[in-house]
Amino acid sequence: MQITVKLFATFRQDRFKLAEQDYPEGTTIADVLDALAIAAPDVGMLFVNGRSAEPERRLASGAVLAIFPLVGGG
């Protein structure tokens, strides 16, 4: 199934900004993080289709997954 993965801040280094990627049915966010070699403790925010999500979440075909490191401002 096709997943749109969007990376931000330091996660873009040596990776990409946005990519359409093919994953098997049943893939979780944690599986995508593994595939991208992003360590779980480095993750600050995960959004699936604009809503906050947990790493255990199974992705549906066509999902847009956004992955941020721990960042903030104000």
Partner 1 sequence: MDKILRVNMTDLTVKVEPVPADWAGLGGRALTSTIVAAEVPPTCHPLGPNNKLVFAPGLLSGTAASNANRFSCGSKSPLTGGIKECSAGGTSSGLIARLGYKAIIIEGKPAGDTWYTVVVHKDGATIKPETEVLRLGTFATVQHVNEHYGEDFGVITLGPAGENLMAIANISVKDPESKIRSFGRGGLGAVMGSKKVKMIVVNPEGGVALRLADPAKFKAANQAFTKTLLDHPVSGQGLKKYGTAVLVNVLNEAGGLPTKNFTSGQCAHHDAISGETMYENIVARGGEPSHNCSPSCQIQCSQIYNDKDGNYVTSGFEYETIWALGADGMVEDLDVIAEIDNVFDDIGVDSIETPVMLAVAMEAGLLPWGDGKRILELLRNDITHATPLGRMLGGGTGHVGRAFGMTRIPVVKNQAIPAYDPRPIKGIGVTYATTTMGADHTAGYAIATNILNVGGKVDPLSNDGQVELSRNLQIATAAIDSTGLCLFIAFPALDIPECLGGVIDLLNARYGINLTGDDVIALGKQVLKIEHAFNLAAGLGPETDRLPEFFELEAIEPHNVKWDMDQKELASFWNF
Cβ proximity to partner 1, 26 vs 41, nearer residue: 41
- What is the rounded distance in angstroms from the CA atom of residue 15 to the CA atom of residue 19? 10
Q: Which of residues 46-65 bind partner 1 (CB under 8 A)?
A: 47, 50-52
Containing 31, the helix (H) or strand (E) segment is: helix 29-35
Please identify which residue in 21, 30, 44, 55 interacts with partner 1, judged by CB under 8 A.
44
Virtual CA dihedral for 69, 15, 65, 41, nearest 10 degrees? -30
In the complex, the residues that contact partner 1 under the rule CB under 8 A are: 6, 8-10, 12, 17, 44-45, 47, 50-52, 66, 68-74
